[in-house]
Amino acid sequence: MTKKERADFVAKKLAELYPETPIPLDHKDPYTLLIAVLLSAQCTDERVNKITPDLFALADNPADMAKQPVEKIQEIIRPCGLSPQKSKAISGLSKILIEKHNGEVPQNFPDLEELPGVGHKTASVVMSQAFGVPAFPVDTHIHRLAQRWKLTNGKNVTQTEKDLKRCFPEEQWNALHLQIIFYGREHCTARGCDGTVCGICRALYPDRKRAVKTKKA
């Protein structure tokens, strides 16, 4: 198969497996999604969803969050890991949203990426899932699977994002990045598949004998 044929097969198969693409992180608006995505760094979505109800009971908007002591935020989010950095980021970005953006989450990459604790991946999730702007956030699952399916050389997540954007039409990006994550968690896991086990890997590379050594993000 050519790269285009592989990409077309992947898109078709994932659409069959996951016709619906619910956002895994519980939220009610762009702000709560932003906070949930920030918390998900080096933490599972499941754990984040257990923490955010208490956090959002305390404050679920920038104005209320900006009033909270960083120590109080940190106490609630401690189970998510990296709580000192994340609590400062949550407090800081909430204040900036009030001071510079009228309490609203900005709908562009430069302003989002200027917020404390918000990198390109977090901004991409917010832009795609909160505002419907085509983006292709790359997490560890996507980085791993894109290498196993030879849709990227896997140098880094930045290159993987560029390569995947070339492989798939823009209108597929927002759903597809979630579909790949779902598939990576359910079928093509880090330990459960090495590029030779899951259905898509076998379909794309039926003669592959050696495990694929993926480059880390």
Return the domain boundaries, the chain: 3-20+136-204, 30-129
Contact 94, 62 (CB under 8 A): yes
Distance, in Å, from the CA atom of 178 to the CA atom of 24, rounded to the nearest integer, reads 9
Per residue in 51-73, pLDDT (tens digit) is 999 999 999 999 999 999 999 99
Q: Sort 189 into a burial class: Cβ within 10 Å, 0-12 / 13-18 / 19+.
A: middle
Would the pLDDT of 216 be above 80?
A: no
Per residue in 80-125, pLDDT (tens digit) is 999 999 999 999 999 999 999 999 999 999 999 999 999 999 999 9
Distance, in Å, from the CA atom of 42 to the CA atom of 26, rounded to the nearest integer, reads 17
Q: pLDDT band for position 215 (50/70/90)?
A: confident
| DSSP result, 134-162 | ------HHHHHHHHHTTSS--S-HHHHHH
Residue 4, Cβ neighbours under 10 Å: how many? 11
Backbone angles phi, psi at 14, to 5 degrees: -65, -35
Q: Which CATH architecture has domain 30-129?
A: Orthogonal Bundle (1.10)
Pick one of 3.20.20.70, 3.90.78.10, 1.10.760.10, 1.10.1670.10 as the CATH number of 3-20+136-204: 1.10.1670.10
Q: pLDDT band for position 44 (50/70/90)?
A: very high
Active site residues: 121, 139
pLDDT of residue 217: 66
* 12, two tokens: 């078709």
Amino acid in the structure at residue 47 = R
